[in-house]
Chains A and B, each alone.
Chain A
């Protein structure tokens, strides 16, 4: 298994396709962090330092800047890295005639597929670590604020959640590479699933939630109605890995966040109340943020495990001949 793992790792790091995707992700992340950093600097210059205390650094990852925040960017486009690493991992071996050669060696099929998955996961872990460390470095230079211990811990947990999320997409792409004989077919299937789960499903979920919890008077929604819609939205988001990741990372990177349905409660308040609440409420301690992120994280972990187990089961049951 070690031999397959090492070979896969070397293949990934030497692959021009992976390096191109990685460069793109890094460039966009830097841009996003740079713009967020400018916004944070402006806030600090305006004297907002007091109420930014304890979360200044995290804003580099959550502030929208000019376009997307970094966490939203990772939720939307991070899956591409997982897909690039996995979409041809098995069918490439099949089409180049090396699958039967390797499986004729004393290696079990489960070891083979596990080695490929772990190699992909390791590459994702290294990528995320590099991205996080470089952004921390840029933040230190750009904003001039040293992160607190709690901010570093929050970033560490965010790293883990991101790894599980990207691992889900690696598992999905590997499953496609087992089911589809051609790399083109598996790439298309993975991309279609990415578009559906990331962009369409949340919209469909919100539409279903709105239909399930309609407002009596849409121009003046009541607090109870907003809370019911919030709960329905929350329920709908549980089937979308992107929404789960979004919720978990928001809970971890934004210590002012009180819950997924906070947005809906805020909507019922006046603008002044909203401002005062956001301005003066205390920051949630890390253990409580962890508790808040836990259901989303566990669901995400379940999705990732399911994607890998499906790949594994499909592969071990497949005939080598048809392969």
Chain B
């Protein structure tokens, strides 16, 4: 299987604090990869290193075959990133926001691409409304449109359902599920909401205190640990064992 993301002992330290500790990840092409862990586990820091936005203290990463540290522009032009609490330019319309992102990516046929991306996320009718008046769910969908307009091969979604109401969550998950199927995208979905990730992810990685506790499909991980094939069971078992190891 082709790997679109690989990390080799990827580490990030802030002074004496280790945010990410010798991480070895492998994300396969065309999958939805759940990147799980409690708040502060090091998920966002890892994503930032994969995008070339943060320099690793140790180790290295390959994203779509490129080193984000050496070729950050190439990585950023081929990947999309929806940050946690992604903001909007409140005085721009949705279409203007997309136009701006398209210009930054030097895309051709900007208007057409913007219209397509807005339709895809269900914001076609709100295209010319100011984003300042958008609800949280609409902003998240606009964020996703901004990610998709550049037609990336790989997208990193950091807590994309955070703050959404149940309908918004269902719509976002449905959209995420369609991406690999309809657009051939690989999705790295970072979240601490297990029940949501378990609905769409093909494989997962569980992170705690910057360390990788487990990586694989839920069925594989459950079998290895002798628990029921349920993501929450696997997750609890991993964290419990990590806690015991740390105590020992």
Q: How far is the CA of A102 from the CA of B54 in the complex (A)?
A: 14
Q: How far is the CA of A108 from the CA of B100 in the complex (A)?
A: 16
Determine the chain A residues whose CB is within 8 A of the CB of B72 once the complex forms.
108
Determine the chain B residues whose CB is within 8 A of the CB of A96 once the complex forms.
87-90
Question: With contacts A320-B48, A320-B54 known, is A97 near B73, CB below 8 A?
Answer: no
CB of A93, distance to nearest CB on chain B (Å): 8
Contact of B87 among A97, A103, A319, A320 (CB under 8 A): A97
B89, B100, B104, B105: which has the most chain A beta carbons within 10 Å? B104
Q: Cβ of A106 and Cβ of B83 under 8 Å apart?
A: no
Q: Mark B3-17, 1 if CB is under 8 A from A, else 0.
A: 000000000001000
Q: Cβ of B104 and Cβ of A100 under 8 Å apart?
A: no
CB of A13, distance to nearest CB on chain B (Å): 12
A-B pair count, CB < 8 Å, reads 68
* Interface size in chain A (residues, C-beta < 8 A): 21
CB neighbors of A among B21-60 (8 A): 44-45, 48, 51, 53-54
Q: Cβ of A3 and Cβ of B44 under 8 Å apart?
A: no
Interface residue B18 (Cβ < 8 Å from any Cβ of A)? no
Q: How far is the CA of A269 from the CA of B51 in the complex (A)?
A: 71
Question: With contacts A3-B104, A96-B90 known, is A104 near B85, CB below 8 A?
Answer: no
Q: Cβ of A105 and Cβ of B76 under 8 Å apart?
A: yes
Q: Cβ of B103 and Cβ of A97 under 8 Å apart?
A: no
CB of B167, distance to nearest CB on chain A (Å): 23
Q: Mark A301-323, 1 if CB is under 8 A from B, else 0.
A: 00000000000000000011100
- Among residues of B, the one whose C-beta sits closest to the C-beta of A99 is B87
- Among residues of B, the one whose C-beta sits closest to the C-beta of A322 is B14
Interface residue A7 (Cβ < 8 Å from any Cβ of B)? yes
Interface residue A220 (Cβ < 8 Å from any Cβ of B)? no
- Among residues of A, the one whose C-beta sits closest to the C-beta of B158 is A100
Interface residue B146 (Cβ < 8 Å from any Cβ of A)? yes
Interface residue A141 (Cβ < 8 Å from any Cβ of B)? no
* Interface size in chain B (residues, C-beta < 8 A): 32
Determine the chain A residues whose CB is within 8 A of the CB of B81 once the complex forms.
100-101, 104
Interface residue A107 (Cβ < 8 Å from any Cβ of B)? yes
CB neighbors of A among B71-98 (8 A): 72-74, 76-77, 79-81, 83, 85-91
A14, A97, A104, A107: which has the most chain B beta carbons within 10 Å? A104
Q: Cβ of B88 and Cβ of A105 under 8 Å apart?
A: no
Q: Cβ of A98 and Cβ of B54 under 8 Å apart?
A: no
CB of B91, distance to nearest CB on chain A (Å): 8
Q: Cβ of B53 and Cβ of A105 under 8 Å apart?
A: no
Interface residue A4 (Cβ < 8 Å from any Cβ of B)? yes
Interface residue B137 (Cβ < 8 Å from any Cβ of A)? no
Q: How far is the CA of A103 from the CA of B48 in the complex (A)?
A: 10
Q: Cβ of A101 and Cβ of B103 under 8 Å apart?
A: no
Q: Cβ of B101 and Cβ of A97 under 8 Å apart?
A: no
Contact of B104 among A4, A14, A321 (CB under 8 A): A4
Contact of A321 among B54, B80, B105 (CB under 8 A): B54
Interface residue B160 (Cβ < 8 Å from any Cβ of A)? no
Interface residue B210 (Cβ < 8 Å from any Cβ of A)? no
Determine the chain A residues whose CB is within 8 A of the CB of B146 once the complex forms.
101
Question: With contacts A96-B90, A98-B88, A320-B48 known, is A103 near B100, CB below 8 A?
Answer: no
For the A-B complex with A96-B88, A105-B105 known, give 6 more contacts whose Cβ atoms are closer than 8 Å. Answer: A14-B91, A96-B87, A103-B53, A105-B101, A106-B105, A320-B54
What are 11 A-to-B residue pairs whose CB atoms are below 8 Å?
Answer: A4-B104, A96-B87, A96-B89, A97-B85, A100-B53, A100-B81, A101-B146, A106-B73, A106-B77, A319-B14, A319-B54
